[in-house]
Amino acid sequence: MRKPITKKGAEQLKAELKRLKNVERPKIIEAVATARDHGDLKENAEYHAAREQQSFNEGRIGELESLLGHAEIIDVSNLNVGDKVVFGATVVLEDEDTGDHVTYQIVGDAEANIDEGKISISSPIARALVGKSVDDEVHVQAPGGEKTYFIEDIQYI
């Protein structure tokens, strides 16, 4: 099954993959070779650390290749869905209890980062928002109980 990812998210993953392959991998190979030259590998902490770093790097490369290989890249700026919330939408919400405003973009699982205001399409709040329109009231079951939001704006940027 193909998983959705924004065009910008895919570009970020591709850039990370390129850096891991073209910058990090050669550095690690050099570090392993240097550590190997220091003698007995059983008691060589530098060698074991370099091999561990190499294992982590190769694992991340495999993960990124798999994510990108199974991704359906969606260019959010080309979506024309009217006033409905769908994947890729940037939504401005007002918290009914506090009056605070929050802005979230609904993105793929691999690019979600709450600190950047990017929430996964599979998150409870994103599932509650999909299909709604401006001025709709949205109820979200949060760990601290149900929260109610009002959709103030929907953008595709």
16 or 42, greater pLDDT: 16
Nearest-angstrom CA–CA distance, 70 and 82: 28
Out of 39, 74, 109, pick the residue that ends a domain: 74
Which strands, in side-by-side order, build the sheet including 118-120?
118-120, 101-107, 90-95, 145-155, 137-142
pLDDT digits (tens, 9 = 90+) for 66-96: 999 999 998 887 776 778 899 999 999 999 8
User: Are 124 and 145 within one domain?
Assistant: yes
Closest CA to 5 of 64, 55, 50, 48: 64
CATH number for the domain harbouring residue 52: 1.10.287.180
Report, as an integer, the average pLDDT of 20-33: 95
Q: Are residues 102 and 90 in the same domain?
A: yes
Helical (H) or strand (E) element with 148: strand 145-155
**Domain range for 50:** 3-74
C-alpha 22/C-alpha 118 separation (Å) is 28
Per-residue pLDDT at 80 = 66
> What pLDDT score was predicted for residue 132?
94
Instruction: Tally the domains of the chain.
Output: 2
Question: Domain ends where: 58, 74, 90?
Answer: 74
Q: Give the tens place of pLDDT for each residue, 7-16.
A: 999 999 999 9
